[in-house]
Structure 1
Amino acid sequence: MRIVVTSVYVDDQQQALDFYTDVLGFQKKLDIPLGEHRWLTVTSPDDPDGVELLLEPSAHPAAATFKQALKEDGIPFTSFGVTDIAAEHSRLVDLGVKFTQPPTKFGEVTIAVFDDTCGNLIQIAQQG
């Protein structure tokens, strides 16, 4: 068994696609119309056949409540690994990304948290 798709709930799928591709650097993998929404996934350019991130509409009332609670408590919805957190933080700041937590070391991991413009806080993490 392996993970093939995981989701992040987004307020607007097109806005999310633009942010996750143009700013974060992911690549669009699938874009399948499903009524008023889409099955819309992105992958890492380093692993285009790896785990897909589904930019899932947060249309269900429970999703909106869940997202809001996480954001209000400062809890990231998910985490992405990076090899150089200082460089990635600097690159994203230069692109206008708003961080709620700058790179901070916690034992063997350094993390930073930013707003994805789609209703979520996202963590980036560097091991070591």
Structure 2
Amino acid sequence: MRIHVTSVFVDDQEQALRFYTETLGFVKKHDVPLGEARWLTVVSAEEPEGIELLLEPSGHPAVGPYKRALVADGIPAASFAVDDVRAEHDRLTALGVRFTQEPLETGGVTTAVLDDTCGNLIQIVRAA
């Protein structure tokens, strides 16, 4: 068994698509209209056949309180691996991305946490 698709709830699918592709560097994989929403996935440019991230609409009534609670407690909704957290932090900061946690090294792992502009905190991580 392996992960095929995972998701993050987003406030606006079009805004999320722009952020996740133009800013973070993911590539759009699927974009299928489903009424008012879309089955909208992105993948790593480095692994185009890899795990898909579904940019899932936040329409369900439970999603808003869930997302707000995670953000209030500083809990990332997802974690993405990068080769160099500090370099990625600098690149994204130059693009206007807001970080809620600057690069931090703890126990051989470096992490940083950013705001995805769609209601989520996202962690970037590099394990030693």
Instruction: Report if TM-score (shorter chain) is over 0.5.
Output: yes
Q: Secondary structure at the match of 2:17?
A: helix
Q: Residue type of the partner of 1:97?
A: V
Q: Residue type of the partner of 2:3?
A: I
Q: Which residue of 1 aligns with 2:14?
A: 14
Q: Which residue of 2 aligns with 1:107?
A: 107
Structure 2: how far apart are the matches of 1:30 and 1:64? 25
Structure 2: how far apart are the matches of 1:124 and 1:55? 18
Q: Which residue of 2 aligns with 1:97?
A: 97
Q: Residue type of the partner of 2:72?
A: E
Q: Which runs of 5+ in 1 are unaligned?
A: none
After superposition, the C-alpha distances for 1:27-71 in whole angstroms (9 at most, x for unaligned) are: 000000000000000000000000000000010011111101000
Instruction: Report the TM-score, using the length of structure 2 for normalisation.
Output: 0.99
Query: Does 1:118 pair with 2:107?
Result: no
Structure 1: how far apart are the matches of 2:4 and 2:107? 30
Q: Secondary structure at the match of 2:123?
A: strand
Q: How does 1:56-71 map to 2 (within 5 A)?
A: 56-71=56-71
Instruction: Indicate the percent of aligned positions where both proteins have the same amino acid.
Output: 65
How far residue 72 of structure 1 moved from its aligned partner, in angstroms, is 0.7
Q: Which residue of 1 aligns with 2:86?
A: 86
Query: Does 1:25 pair with 2:22?
Result: no
Runs (4+) of structure 1 exceeding 3 A deviation are none
How many residue pairs get aligned? The number is 128
CA RMSD, 1 decimal: 0.5
Structure 2: how far apart are the matches of 1:66 and 1:3? 23
Q: Which runs of 5+ in 2 are unaligned?
A: none
